[in-house]
């Protein structure tokens, strides 16, 4: 298995633009998590899914953020419109039955 | 919000020395996990210790858990330059709840 795959690896955009981050979890994992990492706030949970269903999105900063998981092998995190304070590294992670998280390499987002 | 808090924030040691990192948390836990993050990469799972366990070993790693003090420690023995990374503890309150991470300890091992 190739592990959790995220794209793009880097994204530079201008304030007000829409940003879409993508994630392919490990096959067979039934949990998917989106985290955001910044120096100031560390690693924050944004939202997580179980069997493609959103369970808790209380960590999503505001309505500009949305996430979907249309099937077991794909999830997106969308920011519309983006703002400079959204600049961070966004990680997707998946989990199977053994409670260990497997992280993707992250998307480094810079909003100018 | 952070559940776990690592101490120290940064640690610099010579190759061959042991490195000890501590984690304190606030509420009762189901298990506690340690992860490692190399610069520019995602986190990698190192070890999991359950709330009814007190100590666990994996290669050069030794983890202890003291639920009465709500604390854990990660010991890396005979450190190597390749151990340079950030180390995070993470906890959950049940098997179905997500992990909450601390802010990590940055370890530098100097050759």
pLDDT of residue B96: 79
> How much of chain B, in percent, has pLDDT values that exceed 70?
97
Residues of B near A (CB-CB distance < 8 A)? 2, 31, 33, 35, 41-45, 48, 88, 90, 92, 95-96, 98-104
Mean model confidence pLDDT for chain B: 93
Q: Is the CB of residue B35 less than 8 Å from the CB of residue B44?
A: yes
Model confidence band, residue B7 (pLDDT cutoffs 50, 70, 90)? confident
CB contact under 8 A, A103 and B42: yes
| A90 touches B: beta carbon within 8 Å | no
Say how far apart CA A35 and CA B43 lie, in whole Å. Answer: 11
> How much of chain A, in percent, has pLDDT values that exceed 90?
91
B59-70: pLDDT as tens digits: 999 999 999 999
A60-106: pLDDT as tens digits: 988 999 999 999 999 999 999 999 999 999 999 999 988 899 999 99
CB contact under 8 A, B42 and A93: yes
Q: Is the model's pLDDT at B1 over the cut of 50?
A: no
Q: Is the CB of residue B108 less than 8 Å from the CB of residue B42?
A: no
B30-43: pLDDT as tens digits: 999 999 999 999 99
Of the candidates A43, A45, A56, which has its C-beta nearest B88's C-beta? A43
Looking at beta carbons, which residues of chain B come within 8 Å of A106?
Answer: 41-42
Q: Is the model's pLDDT at A58 over the cut of 60?
A: yes
Nearest residue to B13 (alpha-carbon basis) of B103, B74, B89, B83: B83
Q: Which three-class secondary structure state does DSSP give residue A92?
A: strand
Looking at beta carbons, which residues of chain B come within 8 Å of A93?
Answer: 42-43
């Amino acid at each position: 298995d190739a592990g959790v795959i995220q794209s793009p690896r880097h994204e530079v955009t201008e304030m007000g633009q829409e940003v879409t981050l993508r994630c392919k979890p490990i096959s067979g994992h039934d949990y998917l998590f989106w985290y955001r990492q910044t120096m100031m706030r560390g690693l924050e949970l944004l939202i997580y899914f179980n069997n493609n269903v959103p369970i808790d999105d209380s960590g999503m900063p505001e309505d500009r953020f949305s996430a979907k998981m249309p099937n077991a092998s794909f999830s997106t995190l969308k920011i519309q419109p983006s703002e400079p304070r959204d600049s961070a590294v966004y990680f997707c992670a998946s989990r199977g039955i053994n409670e260990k998280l497997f992280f993707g390499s992250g998307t480094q987002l810079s909003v100018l | 919000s952070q559940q776990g808090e690592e101490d120290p924030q940064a640690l610099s040691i010579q190759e061959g020395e042991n490195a000890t990192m501590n984690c304190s948390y606030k509420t009762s836990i189901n298990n506690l996990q340690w992860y490692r993050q190399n610069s520019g990469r995602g986190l990698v799972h190192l070890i999991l210790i359950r709330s009814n366990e007190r100590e666990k070993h994996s290669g050069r790693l030794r983890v202890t858990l003291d639920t009465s003090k709500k604390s854990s420690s990660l010991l890396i023995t005979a450190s190597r330059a390749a151990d340079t990374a950030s180390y995070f503890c993470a906890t959950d309150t049940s098997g179905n709840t997500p992990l909450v991470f601390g802010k990590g300890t940055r370890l530098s091992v100097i050759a």
